[in-house]
Amino acid sequence: MVDLQKLNKERIFLGNLTAKDDGKKVVVAGWLYDSRDLGKIRFALLRDISGEIQVTATKGEVKEDIFKAMTSVSRESVVVISGIVKKSDKAPLGREIFPEGFEILAKAEQPLPIDVSDFSKTELPKRLDYRFLDLHRRRAQAIFKIQSTMMQAYREYMVKNSGIEANFPSIISSSSEGGTELYQLKYFEKNAFLSQSCQLYKQMLACSVEKVFAVFTVWRAEKHNTVRHLNESRQFDYEQAFADEFVVMDVLGKVVQYIISEVLRINKSELTILGLKLRIPTVKYLTFMEANALAKKHKIKIDESDLSGEVEKKLGELYPDTILFVHDWPLKGKPFYIMPKGDGLSCGFDALYNGMEITSGGQRVHLPDLLIERLKAKGLNPKNFESYINSFRFGSPPHSGWGMGVERLTMQVLGLNNIREAVLFPRDRDRLTP
């Protein structure tokens, strides 16, 4: 049995090996993922979360059982190796280790159910069935290391800018984004729902603490299966008092730029694994009418109150690497909580990035009578929103905010063609496990 406490003290991560370690005896651990038998000499590749190394064993120079194990241990088995590490021009990764100790911690059963190479030939649905094994792949690991940087960068930026991080209830009594798409559940004697968004709560909070942000999980019972929708997703939420939609669009542009600059700084090797060259996006503003006029010019059919996927795609082609704010959105196309602007327009906006919506937001209705009017106009019953409406009766400043899909942002920044690649354990119409 390996002493795991000792291993934790002694072990060196492969990504931390430097020229200073050449000639030294080290202890490394990870997954064996490839081996070659050239007769008297055997090679294997070892991978841990930080990097890789070639393991080299020559017959007669290493213990016989280690020499045997080099090619007999099944792929993706977990091993601890101690040995001398040396720089090598011939080794594919520039360094190799000559094993003196070799312990198998866990054997991987064969055959492996999916192809775990970087450019896996296994189709996405099957990879997701075995997501735990899919996550042995460096490309999958790279995506989630980058997503982790994004989450950290979001929090960092918001805290630096006086934001207060909040947690909101996930069980709610009425819809916040329209009557459909709700998962209903029993809450003792009452009916309740899983939250579609923290919209109403972040507004109530901004009216006292001014700048509030959250990383919030939302559930939407949309029946369609698309490459851009999930039934459970996460949002970067933001809400700010004494602000109109232009103030919060500016915050959004800056936070996305910061997130991407942090990915560029921290995730160089992950970007190399994914073969990506990222650029910090610029920011551009268009009215809804201007956006549709551009689409019309390119002979794309337009919708009166929304931008179709086709229009979003064309705008992405016209403005690559740009956070494109489309504002002055038709009131008809925005939820009840968005402030009207007159002439059938609203203070609502969407942000597009590389051809897809990543965010929507706007200035909110903070006036109780107008809120009741807007609820009715959307066919909703103000009685179901009483506590929300009443929260604006005792000194609530004008305020604005937005919600940005964490998986959508990851997908668009990394150029993934299916949103499921950007979520560890996706929940969609057909998937409830793993």
Interaction of residue 402 with ligand AMO, rule CB under 6 A:
yes
Q: Which of 57, 205, 358, 389 binds ligand AMO (CB under 6 A)?
A: 358
Interaction of residue 407 with ligand AMO, rule CB under 6 A:
yes
Q: How many CB atoms lie within 10 A of CB 4?
A: 12
Q: In the window 38-77, what residues touch ligand AMO (CB under 6 A)?
A: none
How far apart (Å, rounded) are the C-alpha atoms in residues 53 and 61? 19
The CB-of-180 to ligand AMO minimum distance in angstroms stands at 12
Q: Of 30 and 335, which CB lies nearer to ligand AMO in the complex structure?
A: 335
Q: Which stretch binds ligand AMO (CB under 6 A): 252-260, 278-286, 384-392, 405-413?
A: 405-413
Residue nearest to ligand AMO (CB): 405
How far apart (Å, rounded) are the C-alpha atoms in residues 166 and 169? 10
Q: Of 30 and 401, which CB lies nearer to ligand AMO in the complex structure?
A: 401
Q: Which two tokens stand for residue 85?
A: 């590490």
Contact 326, 345 (CB under 8 A): no
The CB-of-375 to ligand AMO minimum distance in angstroms stands at 15
Contact 35, 44 (CB under 8 A): yes
DSSP 345: E
Interaction of residue 222 with ligand AMO, rule CB under 6 A:
yes
Interaction of residue 408 with ligand AMO, rule CB under 6 A:
yes
Interaction of residue 240 with ligand AMO, rule CB under 6 A:
no
Q: Which stretch binds ligand AMO (CB under 6 A): 59-67, 137-145, 305-313, 352-360?
A: 352-360
Helix 138-160 × helix 406-414 angle, to 10°: 120
Q: Of 263 and 404, which CB lies nearer to ligand AMO in the complex structure?
A: 404
The CB-of-16 to ligand AMO minimum distance in angstroms stands at 36
Q: Of 70 and 218, which CB lies nearer to ligand AMO in the complex structure?
A: 218
Q: Which two tokens stand for residue 186?
A: 């029993």
The CB-of-359 to ligand AMO minimum distance in angstroms stands at 5
Interaction of residue 330 with ligand AMO, rule CB under 6 A:
no
Query: CB burial class (10 A; 0-12, 13-18, 19+) of residue 147?
Result: buried
Q: Which of 197, 354, 363, 391 binds ligand AMO (CB under 6 A)?
A: 197
Interaction of residue 428 with ligand AMO, rule CB under 6 A:
no
Q: Of 128 and 230, which CB lies nearer to ligand AMO in the complex structure?
A: 230
Q: Of 222 and 373, which CB lies nearer to ligand AMO in the complex structure?
A: 222
Tell me the DSSP string of 131-177.
HHHHTTSHHHHHHHHHHHHHHHHHHHHHHHTT-EE----SEESS-SS
Interaction of residue 175 with ligand AMO, rule CB under 6 A:
no
DSSP 385: G
Q: Which stretch binds ligand AMO (CB under 6 A): 25-33, 116-124, 261-269, 395-403?
A: 395-403
Give backbone dihedrals phi and psi of 378, rounded to 5 degrees, phi first: -95, 10
Residue with tokens 């730029």: 257
DSSP 110: S
Q: How many CB atoms lie within 10 A of CB 432?
A: 10
Identify residue 304 by its one-letter amino acid code: E
Q: Tell me the site size for ligand AMO, rule CB under 6 A.
A: 22
The angle at the Cα of 10, spanning 9 to 12, to the nearest 5 degrees, equals: 110
Interaction of residue 229 with ligand AMO, rule CB under 6 A:
yes
Whole-angstrom CA distances from 75 to 2, 108, 185 are: 20, 7, 44
Contacts to ligand AMO by CB under 6 A: 177, 197, 199, 220, 222, 229-230, 233, 235, 357-361, 401-405, 407-408, 419
